[in-house]
Structure 1
């Protein structure tokens, strides 16, 4: 038995953050019903990296496993009636609509809580549901830029670089996932449902608990340097360095060990405070000039022998092939009816008694419409009528 078996989640979210949060609940066994327009959710038609599939693109495929698809027109009276029926028997409702949309569609918290007071309602937004930025677009790069984190890395005077992943979307998804689980635990103890609000700005801000406390409590400003330090609040050398045939990362080493590993006598005996903070550009440059004389494998072996914290800079190909990744079973593989054999990151939390599982891959648009409506007691004749009038979309079997 999986942890959330018997729970029903209505996923009315789009793009990445909401669908990923709902997918995590599905990975733990919840019956996740993806509520999407009759012609499919927006992400079905737009893939990161232009990674098209056969019938489902890779972006949608990666964010919507362990879900059933109900394709329905929420603006129709019949469609809204069906949603109310589903809400009455559901445990969690997730939405990340723009401000005001949930109210216009009649799926705001007050309306749904009146139908089902035990409902856990997760509302996700870019900046919060009220306040001066409520109408701003909640987009990952824009929130990364606003978070302050970009100005903690890289060279002084150069344009800050964004993270190489959809960082804000991901941390917001996990915040919503945690919020839903916590609210379900509260409901188990008290019988009370509640509204859970998560926004991208708070999620990426609170992720920087340590860094922002250094600024707000310690009063230490962000100061980028001429050399490309990986973090303004960590002493040199700290960052990535070019070798003869690639790149490596070095983190906060002992200078004597670093000196021996790199055959660089000038690094021996350096004062940590002086070299690491006051003269960190000079220190970084000295290490850069020493590292580039070695091949990647050779220098990593030398650094490891001296106990210097270091490691390779991986490509995605390197990561997927890594033996620890294989040992951890970080990636999962399964067969999809239209996309073939799928290999994708799995669920990252291990449970001794209640492991996660993949019961089915990302659904085709309206693939489960008939089954979901039959669960509600809708007759085959009425289902056909709803399809004929465009209220629902269905996948002919």
Structure 2
């Protein structure tokens, strides 16, 4: 077994759905001992949600499987008297707590930062929320698509003659997860110097604004919103040819590229009449239509070969399933799998960070609810009789 950079770190993962579980999975891939605390029976809410009413192996949610590998699960009723006994004992040697319940919920149950800090002053407590822990939106649901609408990204995406378009993945939650990891690793490094833990608070609204830094800076400093193009121009602030174009058998993308070079490839000299920075922005929809009329006369492969030969920045548009056959994806080893006790062979995306000395690996399947309750509690010092009694009382499963 290779060394793992975080194999000395234990994380109590009280999070659910996407933001928190993705953050802890990233840390688990690097070796962290992640103990996922779930409700007896149902477990993480994502276990009951899926896309297209499809279940991997007929039993498991792809949404849950995607974000929970390399963890162990204990099933514990947080409202039971035994919950404090168990979690306070685990907190004695834990390094990090991660949670994304609505603000105040865990603190009312006795599992807030101050509660854990009394037990372990070195503990790092990371909370994720939709809008922070106070303010006029405190009672609002902090769901991903809602945040995309509230922070400008949906309004800046799509065609100008159509509705705002959310990104086709859980973008807000995943950005929030990255900020959690960023904060946790920073806190761990600072603890090495100071010996002190700390509280980290991440909210999706701030995360989404920070990750639209250039767009927000433009809007704030010039007092003007971007206007979405009516065509396939790929960003509301960009000029032609930046965008998505049809081919005879699919679509391609063209990024920042010398306009004259593209015109030469497409073979219509009349398009050079637009070769002026002012016109390339002001007439971008008109230019897109003329360029698209030419690109759709050729196949994707023909256009890619011709454009790459003259160093035009371009790429094919692929579906998720087409991506699985991409030669670069295979070269990178970007896809992997693990074996699950009920779902069978599960195909997954591999860890995305390469480390020369402490590589990330997939060593555990996404756990069943409470699959490791006995194992984790026994390692924490509870006797078999104590564990059996908690299971009999229904507080542990």
- Normalising by the smaller structure, the TM-score range is over 0.9
SS of residue paired to 2:127: strand
> What is the aligned partner in structure 2 of residue 284 from structure 1?
288
Contact 1:51 1:59 in 2 (8 A): no
Alpha-carbon deviation of 1:389? Answer: 1.1
Alpha-carbon deviation of 1:150? Answer: 2.1
SS of residue paired to 2:169: coil
Instruction: Please identify, of 239-248 and 28-37, the stretch whose mean Cα deviation from structure 2 is larger.
Output: 239-248
CA-to-partner distance for each residue in 1:290-347, whole Å, 9 max, x for gaps? 1111111112212222322111100112211111111111112222222222221121
CA-to-partner distance for each residue in 1:93-138, whole Å, 9 max, x for gaps? 0000012211221111111111111000000000001111111111
> What is the aligned partner in structure 1 of residue 386 from structure 2?
382
Calculate the aligned-residue CA RMSD, in Å. Answer: 1.4
Instruction: Please identify, of 343-352 and 178-187, the stretch whose mean Cα deviation from structure 2 is larger.
Output: 343-352
Counterparts of 2:114 and 2:103 in 1: how far apart (Å)?
15
Instruction: Please identify, of 259-268 and 362-371, the stretch whose mean Cα deviation from structure 2 is larger.
Output: 259-268
SS of residue paired to 2:97: strand
Alignment of 1:270-309 (within 5 A): 270-309=274-313
Alignment of 1:198-209 (within 5 A): 198-209=202-213
Alpha-carbon deviation of 1:218? Answer: 4.4
> What is the aligned partner in structure 2 of residue 250 from structure 1?
254
> What is the aligned partner in structure 2 of residue 326 from structure 1?
330
Alpha-carbon deviation of 1:139? Answer: 0.6
Contact 2:157 2:166 in 1 (8 A): no
Alpha-carbon deviation of 1:83? Answer: 0.7
> What is the aligned partner in structure 2 of residue 340 from structure 1?
344
Counterparts of 2:176 and 2:160 in 1: how far apart (Å)?
29
Match of residue 50, structure 1, among 49, 53, 73: 53
Q: Does 1:236 align with 2:240?
A: yes
Match of residue 15, structure 2, among 5, 13, 16: 13
SS of residue paired to 2:160: coil
Alpha-carbon deviation of 1:269? Answer: 5.8
Q: Gaps (5+ residues) in structure 1?
A: none
Q: Does 1:32 align with 2:64?
A: no
Match of residue 112, structure 1, among 108, 112, 116: 116
Q: TM-score, normalised by structure 1?
A: 0.96
Counterparts of 1:155 and 1:78 in 2: how far apart (Å)?
55
Deviant stretches of 4+, over 6 Å: none
> What is the aligned partner in structure 2 of residue 367 from structure 1?
371
Counterparts of 2:63 and 2:37 in 1: how far apart (Å)?
17
Match of residue 6, structure 2, among 4, 7, 13: 4
* 1:376–1:255 CA distance, 2 compared to 1 (3 A): closer
Counterparts of 1:49 and 1:261 in 2: how far apart (Å)?
42
SS of residue paired to 2:382: coil
Contact 1:36 1:72 in 2 (8 A): yes
Counterparts of 1:296 and 1:96 in 2: how far apart (Å)?
44
Contact 1:65 1:361 in 2 (8 A): yes
> What is the aligned partner in structure 2 of residue 122 from structure 1?
126
Instruction: Please identify, of 192-201 and 213-222, the stretch whose mean Cα deviation from structure 2 is larger.
Output: 213-222
Alpha-carbon deviation of 1:240? Answer: 1.0
Q: Does 1:314 align with 2:318?
A: yes
Q: Does 1:94 align with 2:98?
A: yes
Q: Gaps (5+ residues) in structure 2?
A: none
Tell me the matched-pair count: 393
Counterparts of 1:58 and 1:156 in 2: how far apart (Å)?
34
Alpha-carbon deviation of 1:210? Answer: 1.4
